[in-house]
């Protein structure tokens, strides 16, 4: 079996040497090259064509975000962000890079982990990311809101039987969720509940970032919040907490992980099926694994509208594929069709033409 060819991009000499040594020691991997800045990362990616690359966000010459945008536009490559970014600005750049096509993010080792634990996690994540078939991803496609749907005056005032929208996503989720939200008219008539799998170190500012990516107000869900007062608000599951519902109110728990995930899409979808039944709309977007598939089936059985993202537009078709195989998806749509479909279902809309 051919080895996985790896490019390491890291400006810290100590961390870079550590990553290089880990790669060299694994029989399944081949180190193609290493560099300490974003400009040469792009050049090496174009000439060496690695199977996967690690990428720091804080780089000289060109940042990790700039490198991601150029690489995904001109030589699409699976990118694993390895970052110690924890302040707001750096977290925002990480989310931007994920939306621009980077596949996953892993925090840098702190030196406090049990011996070998971080290294094993790094290797397993790197190999997983290397298997993802990425596509050309032009960051500019997500740069404007002009494609958002508009209310159709001929249908304004029509009552909708739908009272909530639930969305789940994992790998590729930041960009996919952003595109769906931008296609929904504002103000939106019902609450939108979202679970996206992002590790706790990187989830702290995700709601704030998402708030700036669309015309909708986005906030981290808080325990006890009444959904009856949250129409038009996007509520995001906080990192490392399940988002559930009880009696029309948000419930946050640290119950055991499901499918190795907390928050879990299944937990949200099952609660939505139980609380809202046929008045729910649920969308399962790109992601690895099977979280959300069983919950989407519960919503469909309860009479709600269920949508799964298609394979062509998914970064990873694992979660939507599992839902489709279960018969959980009433509709299978391309990413750019999902937002307009939800908007049409909720409030009668017409597409706005891009300039």
Whether the model clears a pTM of 0.75, i.e. scores above it, the answer is: yes
pLDDT the model gives residue 354: 42
In 131-264, which ranges are continuous DSSP H helix?
173-182, 200-203, 206-211
DSSP-assigned letter for residue 242: E
Return the axis-axis angle of helices 265-276 and 293-301, rounded to nearest 10°: 10
In total, the chain counts a number of residues equal to: 355
φ, ψ of residue 153 to 5 degrees: the values are -55, -30
Residue tagged active-site, from 291, 310, 314, 317? 291
Residue indicated by tokens 């051919």: 2
pLDDT the model gives residue 118: 93
Q: Measure the CA–CA gap between 263 and 106, rounded to whole angstroms.
A: 17
Active site residue 291: yes
The four Cα atoms 131, 338, 284, 54 give a dihedral, to 10 degrees, of 30
pLDDT tens across the length of the chain (355 residues):
789 999 999 999 999 999 999 999 999 999 999 999 999 999 999 999 999 999 999 899 999 999 999 999 999 999 999 988 667 778 888 899 998 889 999 988 887 888 889 999 999 999 999 998 886 655 434 444 444 445 444 444 343 588 999 999 999 899 999 999 999 998 899 999 999 998 777 777 889 999 999 899 999 999 999 998 899 899 999 988 999 999 999 999 999 999 999 999 999 999 999 999 999 999 999 999 999 999 999 999 999 999 999 999 998 899 999 999 999 999 999 999 999 999 999 876 444 444 4
Secondary structure (DSSP) of 64-110: HHHHHHHHHHHS---EEEEE---SHHHHHHHHHHHHTT--EEEEPP-
The four Cα atoms 181, 185, 189, 193 give a dihedral, to 10 degrees, of 0
Residue tagged active-site, from 197, 216, 242, 259? 197
Residue tagged active-site, from 83, 85, 130, 170? 170
Largest CA distance in the chain: 65
Active site residue 197: yes
Spell out where the chain has E strands.
Answer: 4-9, 29-35, 52-55, 79-83, 104-107, 150-151, 164-169, 192-196, 217-220, 233-236, 242-246, 249-253, 280-284, 305-309, 331-333, 349-350
pLDDT the model gives residue 156: 40
Active site residue 266: no
pLDDT the model gives residue 133: 84
Look up residue 14 and give its two tokens: 């100590």
Please count the other Cβ atoms lying within 10 Å of the Cβ belonging to residue 299. Answer: 26
Which of 16, 76, 84 minimizes the C-alpha distance to 42?
76
Q: Measure the CA–CA gap between 335 and 58, rounded to whole angstroms.
A: 30
Q: Measure the CA–CA gap between 245 and 226, rounded to whole angstroms.
A: 9
Sign of CA dihedral 282, 208, 247, 182: negative
Return the axis-axis angle of helices 117-130 and 13-25, rounded to nearest 10°: 70
């Amino acid at each position: 079996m051919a080895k996985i060819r790896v490019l390491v991009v890291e400006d810290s000499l100590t961390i870079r040497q550590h990553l290089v040594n880990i790669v060299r020691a694994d029989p399944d991997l081949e180190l193609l090259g290493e560099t300490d800045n974003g400009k040469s990362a792009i050049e090496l990616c174009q000439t060496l064509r690695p199977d996967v690359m690690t990428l720091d966000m804080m780089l000289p010459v060109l940042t990790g975000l700039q490198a991601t945008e150029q690489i995904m536009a001109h030589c699409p490559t699976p990118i694993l962000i390895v970052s110690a970014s924890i302040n707001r600005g750096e977290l925002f750049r990480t989310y931007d890079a994920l939306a621009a096509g980077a596949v996953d993010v892993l925090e840098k080792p702190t030196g406090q982990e049990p011996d070998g634990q971080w290294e094993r996690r790094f290797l397993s994540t790197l190999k997983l990311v290397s298997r993802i078939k990425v596509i050309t991803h032009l960051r500019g496609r997500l740069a404007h809101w002009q494609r958002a749907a508009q209310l159709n005056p001929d249908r304004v005032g029509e009552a909708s039987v739908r009272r909530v929208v639930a969305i789940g996503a994992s790998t590729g989720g930041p960009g996919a969720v952003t595109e769906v939200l931008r296609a929904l008219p504002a103000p939106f008539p019902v609450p939108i509940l979202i679970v996206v799998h992002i590790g706790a170190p990187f989830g702290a500012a995700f709601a704030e970032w998402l708030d700036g990516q669309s015309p909708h107000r986005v906030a981290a869900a808080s325990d006890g919040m009444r959904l009856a007062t949250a129409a038009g608000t996007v509520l995001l599951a906080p990192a490392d907490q399940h988002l559930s519902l009880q009696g029309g109110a948000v419930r946050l728990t640290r119950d055991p992980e499901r499918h190795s995930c907390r928050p879990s899409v299944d937990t949200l979808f099952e609660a939505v099926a139980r609380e809202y039944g046929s008045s729910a709309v649920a969308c399962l977007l790109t992601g690895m694994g099977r979280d959300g598939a069983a919950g989407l089936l519960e919503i469909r059985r309860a009479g709600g509208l269920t949508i799964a993202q298609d394979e062509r537009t998914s970064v990873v078709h694992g979660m939507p594929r599992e839902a489709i195989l279960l018969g959980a998806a009433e509709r299978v749509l391309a990413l750019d069709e999902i937002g307009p479909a939800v908007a049409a279902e909720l409030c009668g809309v017409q597409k706005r033409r891009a300039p």
